[in-house]
Amino acid sequence: MSTSMKSICVFCGSSPGNHPRYIKLAKATGLAISDNELRMVYGGGALGLMGATAKAAHKNGGKVLGIIPEFLVHAEGAYTEAETRIVPDMHVRKMQMFEESDAFIILPGGIGTIEEAVEVMSWMRLQIHQKPIIFLSNDNYWDPLLSLIKHTIEMRFTPSWMGADLHAATTPQEALEIIQREWNNPKGKREIWVDYTKI
Ligand code: AMP
């Protein structure tokens, strides 16, 4: 791994999902990030896929930074064995997770995970950043969301370059390889607006 890429943000569910494969994938992701000497940035929770990923990375000797809003520390608990930053609210949390990270891995999760993924996709679409975004699952979990985004491209509500810049992986290693490849090949400035001249 290049020394210039330091931190990977993981967005994922605060629940374990309905099958052990989800926790298994989360643990493997935490291990892969720490094995590659990358820091894991995440939402700070101790539960579900969030807790499983962070604990695997931390117990493997990896650096982990959890960023959690105060109300969630009290409501459900933070994984404070790893470095934990308590922030006032969700907006500050998401901005700090964004600023502290060089790329995003999106593991299976619910509405909170989708919201986080959509925000970084939206900021990429607006060219606020070009940090790699990888959807990671080994059971096609993200296919419906990726199909919806493809639909918005086909209907010309999203620029077509976004289609090539969103990635899907089935193993953590594949996700990290894609991130490294993207990191080594920075994109030029993209067109923010959809080309409507061809309608
Ligand atoms: P979901 O995918 O709906 O489970 O949402 C995951 C997101 O929910 C996290 O990134 C947080 O925004 C939030 N969340 C829910 N429970 C917790 C928790 N115990 N600790 C931290 N974040 C949580």
Phi-psi region of 156 (alpha: psi -120 to 50; beta: other; left: phi over 0): left
Mutate which of 14, 94, 104, 120 for ligand 1? The one with the most ligand atoms within 8 Å of its CB, which is: 14
Q: Is 72 in the pocket of ligand 1 (CB under 6 A)?
A: yes
Has residue 190 been placed in a domain?
A: no
d(Cα 45, Cα 195) in Å, to the nearest integer?
Answer: 41
Q: Is 53 in the pocket of ligand 1 (CB under 6 A)?
A: no
The whole-number pLDDT of residue 199 equals 57
Tens digits of per-residue pLDDT, 34-53?
A: 999 999 999 999 999 999 99
Q: How big is the CA angle at 113 (ends 171 and 95), to the nearest 5 degrees?
A: 110
Has residue 192 been placed in a domain?
A: no
Has residue 188 been placed in a domain?
A: no
Q: What's the gap in Å between 39 CA and the centre of ligand 1?
A: 20
Q: Is 47 in the pocket of ligand 1 (CB under 6 A)?
A: yes
d(Cα 144, Cα 37) in Å, to the nearest integer?
Answer: 32
Nearest residue (CA) to ligand 1, atom 8: 112
Instruction: Locate the ligand 1 atom nearest the alpha carbon of residue 68 and give its number.
Output: 21
Instruction: Locate the ligand 1 atom nearest the alpha carbon of residue 15 and give its number.
Output: 4
How far CA 107 is from CA of 163, 190, 191, in Å, comes to 19, 27, 28
Q: Are 165 and 198 in contact (CB under 8 A)?
A: no
What domain count does the chain have?
1
Q: What's the gap in Å between 14 CA and the centre of ligand 1?
A: 5
Residue 65 has pLDDT above 70, yes or no: yes
Tens digits of per-residue pLDDT, 156-190?
A: 999 999 998 999 999 999 999 999 999 999 888 88
Has residue 198 been placed in a domain?
A: no
Has residue 3 been placed in a domain?
A: no
Tens digits of per-residue pLDDT, 113-147?
A: 999 999 999 999 999 999 999 999 999 999 999 99
Phi-psi region of 143 (alpha: psi -120 to 50; beta: other; left: phi over 0): alpha
Q: Kindly state the percentage of the chain with pLDDT values over 90.
A: 88
Instruction: Locate the ligand 1 atom nearest the alpha carbon of residue 42 and give its number.
Output: 10
Listed in sequence order, the DSSP H helices in 9-158 are 20-35, 48-59, 70-76, 90-99, 111-125, 143-154
Has residue 199 been placed in a domain?
A: no
Q: Is 13 in the pocket of ligand 1 (CB under 6 A)?
A: yes
Instruction: Locate the ligand 1 atom nearest the alpha carbon of residue 90 and give its number.
Output: 12
Mutate which of 50, 86, 92 for ligand 1? The one with the most ligand atoms within 8 Å of its CB, which is: 50
Has residue 197 been placed in a domain?
A: no
Q: Is 43 in the pocket of ligand 1 (CB under 6 A)?
A: yes
Where in the sequence is the domain holding 34, given as residue range(s)?
A: 12-183
The whole-number pLDDT of residue 104 equals 98
CATH for 105: 3.40.50.450
DSSP string, 71-86: HHHHHH-B-TTSEEEE
Has residue 26 been placed in a domain?
A: yes
